[in-house]
């Protein structure tokens, strides 16, 4: 799905949770004027899909035929086997770059989704059920001049699966997995003092508790917030937009049966839009509208919704701005688990 925004003043976001009749309100802000539109979409499910046991990387068949979408500036593939996704990346490498990967379990198989952005840049992907193997590959790629930019953690019944996306670059990055939210924020504070800012967050379930993975890159100006509802998230998004930051990464996690919304904002003056929890058809329609405005999809978030998935995404235009100070968001406590560093 394509996207890159000029100077658009339109902001669209969902403002409230769905009611029992399946209706949701979406807030549209245009040139400072706000309008609420009610639309009926499937209500999200607040439980995780059944986990699976992961083995060493091998071809897995998706639960259904992968779906691809091509719009001006982006390519998107949803629910593909790993080998299919990797082959798609090779086929597109001359004109597109893989910028985001999503994983999900469907019954006893893993499915993978990817977002490609217009323009060819040197990148690598890797998948492993062994943390030691994943870390070894990460160190190997780092020695070859690649820096990790996206991490996914899949949870099985007895093991984890790690998926990473690297892009060629000279600046070093840091990666941690297995953190509680409190530990995650502490690590963020520590790295900010070293001149590193958060660029990616991943939430997953470990031993019945929510755990987090994060990637840090050079910079000192990230903002992060975890909200318990859409209203809280949208309010914070508007505040940070007013302070000259754009939403870089969006993540949903389920804690105590309720969905939490997490965002990472970085400095930059660019058009920035988020569309939350829609069916795939509605999501693609909005993607076409945003593409027509010159916006680019930079982040795809999928979550269970009964037998289907809810689609959320972040779109931006050309990014400008510098790195400055930082702001901390909500905090919540967690258990004492071993930290797994990159």
Q: Is residue 250 over pLDDT 90? A: yes
What totals of helices (H) and strands (E) does the chain contain, helices first? 5, 20
Gap between the Cα atoms of 323 and 26, Å rounded = 32
Coil, helix or strand at residue 173: coil
Report, as an integer, the average pLDDT of 193-201. 96
Question: For residue 141, what is the enclosing H or E element?
Answer: helix 131-143
Query: What residues contact 76, with CB distance under 8 A and at least 6 apart?
Result: 1, 68, 69, 70, 113, 114, 115, 116, 287, 297, 300
Query: What residues contact 217, with CB distance under 8 A and at least 6 apart?
Result: 147, 149, 171, 173, 196, 197, 199
Report, as an integer, the average pLDDT of 66-92. 88
Identify any residues that bridge with 247 across adjacent strands, giving them in sequence order: 265
Report, as an integer, the average pLDDT of 206-222. 91
pLDDT-derived band at 203 (thresholds 50, 70, 90) equals very high
Q: Which two tokens stand for residue 298?
A: 């930079």
Gap between the Cα atoms of 209 and 69, Å rounded = 35
Tens digits of residue pLDDT in 293-333: 999 999 999 988 777 889 999 999 865 433 332 233 332 22
* Low-confidence winner among 56-65, 91-100, 189-198, 283-292 (lowest mean pLDDT): 56-65
pLDDT at 307: 75
Give the rounded percent of residues in the chain with a pLDDT score beyond 90. Answer: 55
pLDDT at 336: 24
Gap between the Cα atoms of 160 and 311, Å rounded = 24
Q: What is the CA radius of gyration of the chain?
A: 19
Model confidence, pTM: 0.74
Count the neighbouring beta carbons within 10 Å of the beta carbon of residue 29: 15
Distance spanning both ends of the chain, measured CA to CA: 31
Are 296 and 6 in contact by the 8 Å Cβ rule? The answer is: no
- For residue 95, which of 2, 165, 5, 164 has the smallest C-alpha distance? 2
Gap between the Cα atoms of 106 and 55, Å rounded = 16
Tens digits of residue pLDDT in 287-297: 999 999 999 99
């Amino acid at each position: 799905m394509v996207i890159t925004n000029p100077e658009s003043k339109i902001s669209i976001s969902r403002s409230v949770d769905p009611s029992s009749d399946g209706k949701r309100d979406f807030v549209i802000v245009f040139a400072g004027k706000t309008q609420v539109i009610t639309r009926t979409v499937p209500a999200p499910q607040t439980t995780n899909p059944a986990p699976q046991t992961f083995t060493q990387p091998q071809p897995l068949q998706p639960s259904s035929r992968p779906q691809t979408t091509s719009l001006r500036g982006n390519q998107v593939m949803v629910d593909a086997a790993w080998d299919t996704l990797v082959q798609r990346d090779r086929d597109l490498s001359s004109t597109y770059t893989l910028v985001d990967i999503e994983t999900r379990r469907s019954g006893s198989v893993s499915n993978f989704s990817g977002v490609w952005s217009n323009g060819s840049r040197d990148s690598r992907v890797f998948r492993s059920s062994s943390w030691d193997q994943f870390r070894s590959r990460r160190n190997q790629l780092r020695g070859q001049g690649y820096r990790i930019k996206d991490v996914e953690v899949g949870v099985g019944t007895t093991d984890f699966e790690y998926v990473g996306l690297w892009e060629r670059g000279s600046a070093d990055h840091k990666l941690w997995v297995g953190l509680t939210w409190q530990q995650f924020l502490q690590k963020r504070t520590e790295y900010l003092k070293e001149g590193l800012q958060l660029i990616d967050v991943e939430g997953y379930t470990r031993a019945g508790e929510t755990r987090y993975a994060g990637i840090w890159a050079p910079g000192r100006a990230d903002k992060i917030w975890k909200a318990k509802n859409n209203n809280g998230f949208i309010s914070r998004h508007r505040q940070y937009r007013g302070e000259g930051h754009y939403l870089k990464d969006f993540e949903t996690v389920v804690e105590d049966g309720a969905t939490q919304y997490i965002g990472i904002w970085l400095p930059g003056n660019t058009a920035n839009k988020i569309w939350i929890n829609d069916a795939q058809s509605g999501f693609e329609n909005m993607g076409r509208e945003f593409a027509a405005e010159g916006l680019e999809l930079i982040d795809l978030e999928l979550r269970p919704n009964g037998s289907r998935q809810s689609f959320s995404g972040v779109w931006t235009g050309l990014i400008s701005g510098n790195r400055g100070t930082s702001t901390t968001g909500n905090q919540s406590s967690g258990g004492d688990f071993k930290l797994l560093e990159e």
